[in-house]
Amino acid sequence: MSEYNGARRRAAVAGALEAARGPVSAAALARQFSVSRQIIVGDIALLRAGGMEILATPRGYVLDRPPAGVEHTVACVHSPEQMEAELTAIVDAGGEVVDVIVEHPVYGQLTGILGVASRYDVGEFIRRVEAHGARPLSDLTGGIHLHTIRCRDEKSFERVQKALANEGFLLNM
């Protein structure tokens, strides 16, 4: 599809994201449209500037669609070594970890989109953290952070809260 001009390619990229059932990496889009990954990154930036709600997750781009079910925010605290256990507790109880939010003294609120909904997702996220030598955002705040949790219903969210409390991850002041 390299014969596409920029506008036609961006329209096709938007269509690919709309049709996707999950995250789509820039590399996969680059292969699909026979362009470089950097061209796709630029296309995504232009689509966003044009008003398209596209989120960049650790696994690729997704459209920011209205969520199914319920969303709640929980305040958590733990060490970096406990990150995998925290994420696993949430997904095992039926929740999806939409994001992580910390309050930075210089930059204000920092949000990282996670989209972690299964043990597989947890494993992939931890693998990427380790491969890049990355530290959790919560390192900036002594382990204190927020998560937006998406669940199919309130009962599922109650299970997530109970799992986090049982592991000692809920922040109690």
50 three-class SS: coil
Helix axes 154-167, 83-92, angle to 10 degrees: 150
What average pLDDT does range 30-40 have in this prediction?
94
Instruction: Please report which confidence band the pLDDT of residue 172 belongs to, taking 50, 70 and 90 as the band edges.
Output: confident
Q: How much is the pLDDT for 1?
A: 43
Which of 139, 140, 156 has its CA nearest to residue 72?
156
Q: How much is the pLDDT for 2?
A: 43
Q: How much is the pLDDT for 4?
A: 60
- Does the structure show a pLDDT above 90 at 133? yes
Identify the sign of the CA torsion 50, 36, 135, 100. Answer: positive
What average pLDDT does range 59-88 have in this prediction?
91
Q: Where are the domains of the chain?
A: 6-63, 70-167
- Does the structure show a pLDDT above 70 at 159? yes
Q: How much is the pLDDT for 112?
A: 93
Residue 147 parent element (H or E):
strand 144-151
CA distances from 105 to 5, 112, 141 (A): 44, 17, 9
Does the domain made of 6-63 have the CATH classification 1.10.10.10?
A: yes
> How far apart are alpha carbons 45 and 52 in whole angstroms?
9
Phi, psi (rounded to 5 degrees) for 112: -115, 125
The residue among 121 and 66 whose pLDDT is bigger is: 121
Which of 108, 81, 78, 112 has its CA nearest to residue 98?
112
Q: What CATH class does 70-167 carry?
A: alpha beta
> How far apart are alpha carbons 80 and 89 in whole angstroms?
15
> How far apart are alpha carbons 4 and 125 in whole angstroms?
34
Q: What is the pLDDT of residues 113-124, one digit of tens each?
A: 898 999 999 999
Would the pTM count as exceeding 0.85? no
Phi, psi (rounded to 5 degrees) for 131: -65, -30
Average pLDDT of the chain is 92
